[in-house]
Structure 1
């Protein structure tokens, strides 16, 4: 029963994540670091943000295979259907938010902060579920486990790398910086903090949701 609860929480978290990513994107101040490359590509090609998120996620899974080699397990392939679902969630929430087009900088900043709050809560739900990881986090974990790195600093380096690569791609395809802005940096700084905040403040939720595990 707990397993069912955990997967249900994970998929709810996945949808909340997609809603946060879409709202940050609609704020038009850049997007979250992990979505920056798919977003820049979606601005320059005919595929949607969700489509490119799926393509990029599968590429990250392939890189995990190259890094982990014999340590790459069958369970890692679960990331493929999760990535596909996440991509469709992003496109669906982008449609839901199609009327959200803030014009003033203040309103863009407000939507950005709300998006970061939602995305942080989604990350918290995924951590709470503890059954699977999105390819971005799983790729970082592969690096950490293979070369004995520290997760937090490796995640920061990964996020920075994604933003830098996205910026380079923007200049290559559009000849100017588009899709990577101050919102990308703010999201990188805030989302992890917000997720940890929810984790601390809602710590009492675990024994309630997974009572069987705490009474064994």
Structure 2
């Protein structure tokens, strides 16, 4: 029963994260960092965002294997299953949000703020159920293990910013302009890592009661 609750809450966390992505897309201020690279790739190759998310997340899994080598736990291959679920959730959230926007620049900022909170909440939930990390967080943890003196949320900020930087390069290289990445993406890259510890403090006690 506890395992079922953990799986359920994990999927709830992914759903929060998916709606965070949808809010960032509709804000027109740039996609959240966790999906900025898949979003740019989806624009380049004209494929659904969900499929591109799965493709990029598989790359993150490969990076984990390279870093961890013999220490890599093969149970982490189940990340592929949850990545696929998240890909479907992302397309579902985009469908639910459809053309919803809040007019004016302040409205766009508000939508991006909601996106940042939803992303941080989603990550806090699915990390705290201690089931399996999503590929980007798994890769971040693998990198974090190489730098034990640096806190995880600081490593996450670096990884998020690096993902955004790659997205910017690809956008200019293949589309000759900046698409899907704007000031909101940068704000999200900086703020999600800062909000995450706050979210975890609030979420952890609840998850401990429900799952452990």
Answer yes or no: same fold by TM over 0.5: yes
- 1:206 and 1:58, CA in 2 relative to 1: closer, same or farther beyond 3 A? closer
Partners of 1:204 and 1:141 lie apart in 2 by 22
Q: Is the 8 A contact 1:24 1:31 kept in 2?
A: yes
Does the Cα contact within 8 Å between 2:153 and 2:194 map onto a contact in 1?
Answer: no
Once residues 120 and 66 of structure 1 are traced to their aligned partners in structure 2, the CA distance between those partners, rounded to angstroms, is 27
How far apart in 2 are the matches of 1:102 and 1:177? Answer: 22
What is the deviation of 1:45?
A: 2.0
**How many aligned residue pairs are there?**
211
- Alpha-carbon displacement from aligned partner over 1:7-29 (angstroms, at most 9, x marks no partner): 21111111111111111111111
Aligned-residue Cα RMSD (Å) equals 1.9
Match for residue 145 of structure 2?
145
Provide Cα deviations, 1:74-106, integer angstroms capped at 9, x if missing partner: 111011101111111101111111121344212
Question: Is the partner of 2:37 in helix, strand or coil?
Answer: helix
**2:21/2:119 contact within 8 Å kept:** yes
- My pick for the range that moved more, 82-91 or 182-191, is 182-191
Q: Which runs of 5+ in 2 are unaligned?
A: none
- The alignment partner of 1:101 has SS state of coil
Confirm or deny: 8 A CA contact 1:68 1:146 kept in the other structure: no
Q: What residue number does 1:47 align with?
A: 47
Larger radius of gyration: 1
